[in-house]
Amino acid sequence: MCGPRLKHTAYNINYHFVWCPKSRHSVLDEIEQSLETSSRDVCGEYNYEMPSLHISPDHVHLFISAHPKHSPSGITRKIKRITDRAMWQQHESFLENYFWGGGFWDESYYVGTAGEVSSQTIEQYIRRTEHV
């Protein structure tokens, strides 16, 4: 089953991202609503589909589908940079109690891929087509 389609491209590229605030401060529950809104706005602006978002006090889980032209590192960079700026604009007096020198996202992140078929299914398909 394919995901979204464009004129010359059909794709099903799904990413599971996880990232945390610096020093893993448990602050996200205080800004959850505006962080969710900002995250959804960024995804809409860059045409990333976000079927799932979960904000815990000290980390965020995002499940995103994106066109192959968008690299996982680029997606992460955009979302973290834009949400960081928006949260500082909206919650500066709160965030300055935890973070000095601006920025509140840690540099590191986790990304994993997910699709509708397993690696084993793809390998079997490729082996079958080799003999046609």
- Other Cβ atoms less than 10 A from the Cβ of 38: the count is 20
Q: Mean pLDDT across the chain, nearest whole number? A: 88
**pLDDT tens digit sequence for 46-84:** 999 999 999 999 999 999 999 999 999 999 999 999 999
Pairing of strands 49-56, 110-114: unpaired
Contacts by 47-52 with C-beta closer than 8 Å and gap 24+? 48/75, 49/4
- pLDDT of 22: 94
**121 pLDDT above the threshold of 60:** yes
Region label for 73, one of left (φ > 0), alpha (ψ between -120 and 50) or beta (otherwise): alpha
**pLDDT tens digit sequence for 22-51:** 999 999 999 999 999 999 999 999 999 999
CA torsion angle for 86, 44, 39, 66 (degrees, to 10)?
-130
Joined together, the tokens standing for residue 102 give 């601006």
**102 pLDDT above the threshold of 80:** no
Reported pTM: 0.82
Per-residue DSSP letters for 38-71?
HHHHHHHHTT-EEEEEEEETTEEEEEEE--TTS-
Question: Domain spanning 14-130 has what CATH number?
Answer: 3.30.70.1290
Q: What is the mean pLDDT of residues 102-113?
A: 92
**1 pLDDT above the threshold of 50:** no
Q: Are 43 and 88 in contact (CB under 8 A)?
A: no
The rounded percent of the chain whose pLDDT value lies above 90 is 70
- pLDDT of 124: 77
